[in-house]
């Protein structure tokens, strides 16, 4: 791995808003979310792209993706979720990660003329509150 990897830093304990962690997968809030609750799910091992993901990590990674999808819907009042991953093109961090974005029927996310990647910032204390709610939902699952 050339240079620093922001997600390896998170795995190593860098400041982030943790949603889930086990020995193979970590999930945390995106620091510039599309909507409140936008979560990133990534393997703890450094793997650059989804194409490179070993078979042994497929099940644990996507099990957590599914569980986070359910949690963002049930906890944050979503009607569904958007689950996606960029591979090389538009992949801002070269460490495989899956975006789990809460959706609402009227969110306009794919409306004509609206760029998909309109990011926002959390208000003070908001990310901590959302992460705590999601951790509780995932713990109860």
DSSP sequence for 67-105? HHHHHHHHHHT-SEEEEE---STT-SSSS--EEEEEE-T
> Residue 55: which residues within 8 A CB-CB, separation 6 or more?
none
Extents of the domains making up the chain: 6-140
Alpha-carbon distance of 54 to 126, in angstroms, equals 35
Pick the CATH number of 6-140 from 3.40.50.2300, 3.30.497.10, 3.30.1330.60, 3.30.428.10: 3.30.428.10
**Would the pLDDT of 1 be above 70?**
no
Taking only the tens place, the pLDDT of each residue in 43-93 is 999 999 999 999 999 999 999 999 999 999 999 998 999 999 998 888 889
> Residue 22: which residues within 8 A CB-CB, separation 6 or more?
60, 64
User: Taking CA 10 as the corner, what is the angle to CA 6 and CA 12, rounded to the nearest 5 degrees?
Assistant: 115
User: What pTM value is reported for the model?
Assistant: 0.89
**Would the pLDDT of 112 be above 80?**
no
Lowest mean pLDDT among 18-27, 47-56, 123-132: 123-132
């Amino acid at each position: 791995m050339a240079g620093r990897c922001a997600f390896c830093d998170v795995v190593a304990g860098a400041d982030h808003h943790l949603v889930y962690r086990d020995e193979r997968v970590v999930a945390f809030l995106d620091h510039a979310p599309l909507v409140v609750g936008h979560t990133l799910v990534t393997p703890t091992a450094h793997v650059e792209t989804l194409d490179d993901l070993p078979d042994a990590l497929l099940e644990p990674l996507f099990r957590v993706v599914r569980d986070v999808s359910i949690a963002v819907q049930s906890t944050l009042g979503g009607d569904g979720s958007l689950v996606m991953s960029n591979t090389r093109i538009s992949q801002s961090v070269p460490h495989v990660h899956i975006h789990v974005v809460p959706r609402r029927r009227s969110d306009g996310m794919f409306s004509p003329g609206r760029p998909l990647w309109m990011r926002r910032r959390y208000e003070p204390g908001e990310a901590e509150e959302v992460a705590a709610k999601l951790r509780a939902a995932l713990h109860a699952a």
